[in-house]
Structure 1
Amino acid sequence: MAQSSWSEYRPGQRFPGVIGRTTEESSPAWPQPVRAVAGAPNVLFIVFDDTGFGQFGCYGSPIETPNLDALAAGGLLYSNMHTTSLCSPSRSCIITGRNHHANGMAAITELATGYPGYDGQIPFENGFLSEMLLQHGYNTYMVGKWHLTQSEQESAAGPYDRWPLGRGFERFYGFLGGDTSQWYPDLVYDNHQV
């Protein structure tokens, strides 16, 4: 007798469907897609360049930041964050959990020198949080400033393996370099220039 409900199975397990002589005698089964586990939390990283704790109301700043304060009220507040004092290296540490020298990002990508720790190319074995989340069924999206690819690799010719979509993000909208015009920005949508 053929199965009537939607059937899934884990890849590598035996096919649980029925293959009969006709479609009426058969029931399909589908490889189970990777999904985040039930109740898995949403993960949101907000990275601000050129700011410190003193700029946010939740840390006592006189500047009103009600939306950031609301986010902080429902989550974790950092009180011992260390940065590298530069944007690309700090961003590489946040997204990999590794030291900026281990990421080849001892300086911003435009100052890469070709020496160990200073080549401006994060090794692929230094996994990005986005790559890890993607493997666990999360959807990943990056918006804003990337600044983790050397300038000579940011053109339409690529290579694209060090762009956001090459490092675990399913979608990207922003700019690849360290800065851009606020009136005529060099925007990228996924893997192509806008």
Structure 2
Amino acid sequence: MSLTEYPPGSAFPGVIGRTFDVSTPAWPKPLRANEGAPNVLFIILDDTGFGQLGCYGSPINTPNLDSLAQNGLSYTNMHTTALCSPTRTCILTGRNHHSNAMACITEGSTGYPGSNGNIPFENGFLSEILQQRGYNTYAIGKWHLTPADQISAAGPYDRWPLGRGFERFYGFLGGETHQYYPELVYDNHQVEPPRTPEEGYHLTEDLVDHAISFIADAKQVAPTKPFFMYFCTG
């Protein structure tokens, strides 16, 4: 017998009888992405211009990035603010950085309108929208979107990645960290690096390993469920 599903919040379409044998169950419809919905790998590199990538005509050899561009989407009219936090807010919300209260990097917030560093919750993140459309959502690496006084273990946590639509996070909350002795956060708690530099540790490899692990964990259970991976090297 096929399951009966119904949109959450609508009337129950099943039957509730006096006993179980004369009743018909129904379940709220779970979030499912559209069939064939693509996976989204979004890589952000600091201090990199389009003129440094082979896919945009640079003489620099970037074959892996060129392959991603060839098999994905390429844009020719994307503008940044030349600052980290404001650009990231524009990318994730589709809004002007002043509308996101991020006129400067989080540490440079001034406390005036458009520059207090607290991104309004009504300005939806791409991760929040895709999660509501049945995607798994992951953030890896540099965040730099939470006010500096809100990134300690004392919280608050609502402006951390898991508070803005990302189901999993591994990386660092500030604008920079050490490549061999990083200040790491795993989901909503601070952790130590898994190895020492003497044991071969480097931050970039660690970020890549966790990105692969997040995707692999979900694919073992739901192989057709699409993902949004927001990957930002540090």
The TM-score with structure 1 as length reference comes to: 0.92
| 2:41 aligned counterpart, secondary structure | coil
Given the alignment of the two structures, is residue 17 of structure 1 paired with residue 14 of structure 2, yes or no?
yes
Counterpart for residue 112 of structure 1: 109
% identical aligned pairs: 75
Matched, 1:80 2:77: yes
Q: Deviations over 1:132-174 (max 9, x none)?
A: 1112222211111000011110001110111011111111111
Give 1:94 shift.
Answer: 0.6
- Cα distance, 1:27 vs. partner? 3.1
Could you tell me which of 53, 56, 59 is aligned with 2:53?
56
- Taking the TM superposition and a 5 Å limit, the aligned residue runs for 1:66-77 are 66-77=63-74
Task: Specify every segment of 5 or more residues in structure 1 that has no aligned partner in the other structure, as ranges.
Answer: none
Q: Please, what is the CA RMSD of the aligned residues?
A: 1.5
State the structure with more CA Rg. Answer: 1
Partner of 2:42: 45
Work out the number of aligned pairs and report it: 191
Flag the structure with higher strand content.
2
Higher relative contact order (CA 8 A, sep 6+): 2
Post-superposition CA distance 1:85-107 (Å, at most 9, x none): 11111111111111111111111
For 2:118 and 2:6, how far apart are their aligned partners in 1? 39
What is the distance in 1 between the residues matched to 2:9 and 2:84? 43
- Deviating more after overlay: 100-109 vs 55-64: 55-64
**Higher helix content, 1 or 2:** 2
Indicate the residue corresponding to 1:31 in structure 2: 28
SS where residue 86 of structure 2 aligns?
helix
SS of equivalent residue, structure 2 residue 43:
coil
Shift of 1:6: 2.1
Give 1:148's aligned residue: 145
In structure 2, runs of 5+ residues without a counterpart are 192-234
Aligned to 2:62: 65
